[in-house]
Amino acid sequence: MMVALNKQYLLRHAINADEIAGIIPFSGQTVTHFTARKERGVPEKQPEIDGLAPLFYVRPDAPPMLLITGDKDLEMLGRYEENAYLSRMMKVNGHTRTRLLELQGFDHVGMAYPAFPLLLKEVGKWENEKKPH
């Protein structure tokens, strides 16, 4: 998610992040990663949004995005809420192709199994959109 939102990561390799077909993180961490926060002495449960957070790079021209998380009551440390906030911020910044799916009854790890068919379906949709008609 970060390499597609912060265009600088791929630009170093002469790749335009806007040409990515789409982004589909599974329970993606949208605030500054807990490892970076730990290295700075920031408590695990204190969110931070800075240049190391995908949320810092919301933009209207990003590739399509399907955010998939587990059940908000079973996910780890507010991961659903992070993704909900990213979804909202993308939309208020003019990105019209962000969707959020919450997989009821699944935790952070268990959500992957039901998420893969959703990923394949979305990739197929994006692939068909790119084909000339």
DSSP structure string for 95-127: ---EEEEEETT--TTTTHHHHHHHHHHHHHHHH
Q: Which pLDDT does position 13 carry in this prediction?
A: 95
Q: For residue range 43-88, what is the model confidence (pLDDT) as tens digits? A: 988 999 999 999 999 999 999 999 999 999 999 989 999 999 999 9
Q: What is the CATH number of the domain that holds 14?
A: 3.40.50.1820
How many angstroms separate the CA atoms of 37 and 54, rounded? 14
Rg (the chain; Cα; Å)? 15
Full domain range(s) for residue 93: 2-130
Helix segments in 52-111, DSSP class H:
79-92
Q: For residue range 93-113, what is the model confidence (pLDDT) as tens digits? A: 999 999 999 999 999 999 999
Query: What is the tally of structural domains in the chain?
Result: 1
pLDDT band at residue 128 under the 50/70/90 scheme: confident
* Placement of tokens 């996910």 in the chain: 75
